[in-house]
């Protein structure tokens, strides 16, 4: 059963399911698997060490799928920022049709992508940010609830409130993000006013995810309580999986005098990559959302996607219909 929504029409996909851009995880094998299964796979631009490497990864993805896929470009404040304009040019020159943007001040990137005929989905954690992105001219919004992995913002609004609050005001198509991993979540997102779902953590626990099996098993073993909120006192809240590293970060930042310099040695991105690639679960931060509590297996992407759609169909056609 196809599920036709404004998101499937905008992206030219069969199912309203998008894979979120994830650092070190959004590589060709996962993105292609999601696209081949009827969703929209996403490569993560900054996972690649250079714009030329991104071009090669885009080419590699095209050898694995003939379906639409996109690229994520996350713009974060940094003392030594990556060459965002060069990554943007690589995306444009490679003929990518869909981009997920996230982070701060994306205007110049959005304007350039739009000028080159690229559809832009912008990830937001607040209704006011979604409305700002809509005015900027993006084509769709991904609204990220407090349950999500990564940075949920500082308002602490869960999806059950944030999604319909955004749907009340945002006019363009909208993805619900944060806490989604099964057909129940997809139906709920549609009922709350979204046009589809964006999944990150759930796609990490699949056969094709390019991370170590021990990390995938960690996601299965953990429940919904097994995340830590870090950087709270620094006003840059992040949600990560519980491990010895994130526990240390939380403990250090309990001191009101603590600064980022006190935890810098624990939160380096390179250490997180080591954890994902080697399976050393205490090598660095492992970013994951509360949806860990809904993950019970490690299927192929195709099996996961078909299961989600089958469950959604059963809920819509049987369970809900029988309540009328």
Given phi > 0 = left and psi -120 to 50 = alpha, else beta, which region is 68?
beta
Identify the pLDDT of residue 77.
76
SS3 229: strand
37-73 confidence digits (pLDDT tens): 999 999 999 999 999 999 999 999 999 999 999 999 9
Residues 20, 110 share a domain: yes
Lookup: tokens for 195: 């046009």
Q: What would the mean pLDDT of 125-130 be, rounded to a whole number?
A: 97
Q: Which of 241, 198, 185 is nearest to 7 (CA)?
A: 198
Residues 257, 183 share a domain: no
Identify the pLDDT of residue 322.
78
Identify the pLDDT of residue 239.
98
User: How many domains are contained in the chain?
Assistant: 2
Q: What would the mean pLDDT of 252-270 be, rounded to a whole number?
A: 95
Tell me which H or E stretch contains 74. strand 69-75
SS3 306: helix
Q: How confident is the model at residue 104 (pLDDT cuts 50, 70, 90)?
A: confident
Residue 246 lies in a domain: yes
Cβ–Cβ under 8 Å, residues 129 and 101: no
Residues 257, 194 share a domain: no
What does pLDDT average to over the chain?
A: 96
Q: For the ranges 69-83, 121-135, 193-207, 221-235, which has the lowest average pLDDT?
A: 69-83
Tell me which H or E stretch contains 86. helix 84-93
> DSSP code of 235?
T
Q: What would the mean pLDDT of 203-208 be, rounded to a whole number?
A: 98
Residues 181, 44 share a domain: yes
Identify the pLDDT of residue 54.
98
Residues 204, 62 share a domain: yes
Domain span holding position 146 = 6-208+300-323
Q: At what angle do helices 183-192 and 301-314 cross, to 10 degrees?
A: 60
Helices (H) then strands (E): counts for the chain: 13, 10
Residue 295 lies in a domain: no
Residues 132, 29 share a domain: yes
Residue 19 lies in a domain: yes
Residues 11, 119 share a domain: yes
Identify the pLDDT of residue 143.
98
Q: For the ranges 2-6, 65-69, 128-132, which has the lowest average pLDDT?
A: 2-6
Residues 277, 204 share a domain: no
> DSSP code of 21?
P
Q: How confident is the model at residue 142 (pLDDT cuts 50, 70, 90)?
A: very high
- Is residue 1 over pLDDT 70? no
Residue 1 lies in a domain: no
Give the pairing of strands 174-177 and 196-199.
parallel
State the pTM of this model: 0.96
Identify the pLDDT of residue 80.
87
Residues 278, 196 share a domain: no
């Amino acid at each position: 059963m196809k599920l036709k929504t404004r998101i499937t029409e905008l992206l030219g996909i069969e199912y309203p399911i998008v894979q979120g851009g994830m650092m070190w995880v959004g590589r060709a094998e996962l993105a292609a698997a999601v696209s081949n299964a009827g969703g929209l796979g996403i490569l993560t631009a900054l996972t690649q060490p250079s714009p030329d490497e991104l071009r090669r990864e885009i080419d590699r993805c095209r050898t694995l799928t003939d379906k639409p896929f996109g690229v994520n470009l996350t713009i974060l404040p940094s003392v030594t920022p990556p060459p965002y304009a060069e990554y943007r040019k690589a995306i444009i020159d490679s003929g990518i049709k869909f981009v997920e943007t996230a982070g701060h001040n994306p205007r110049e990137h959005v304007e350039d992508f739009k000028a080159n005929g690229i559809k832009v989905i912008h990830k937001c954690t607040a209704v006011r940010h979604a409305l700002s992105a809509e005015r900027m001219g993006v084509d769709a919004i991904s609204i990220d609830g407090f349950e999500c992995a990564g940075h949920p913002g500082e308002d602490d609004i869960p999806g059950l409130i944030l999604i319909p609050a955004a749907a009340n005001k945002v006019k363009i198509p909208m993805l619900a993000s944060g806490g989604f991993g099964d057909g129940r979540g997809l139906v709920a997102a549609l009922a709350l006013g979204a046009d589809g779902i964006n999944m990150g953590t759930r796609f990490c626990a699949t056969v094709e995810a390019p991370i170590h099996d021990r990390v995938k098993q960690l996601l299965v073993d953990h429940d919904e309580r097994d995340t830590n909120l870090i950087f709270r006192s620094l006003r840059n809240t992040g949600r990560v999986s519980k491990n010895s590293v994130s526990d240390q970060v939380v403990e250090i930042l309990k001191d009101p005098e603590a600064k980022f310099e006190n935890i810098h040695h624990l939160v380096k991105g390179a250490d997180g990559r080591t954890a994902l690639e080697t399976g050393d679960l205490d090598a660095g931060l492992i970013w994951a959302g509360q949806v860990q509590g809904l993950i019970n297996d490690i299927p192929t992407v195709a099996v996961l996607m078909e299961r989600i759609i089958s469950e959604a169909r059963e809920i819509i056609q049987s369970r809900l219909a029988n309540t009328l």
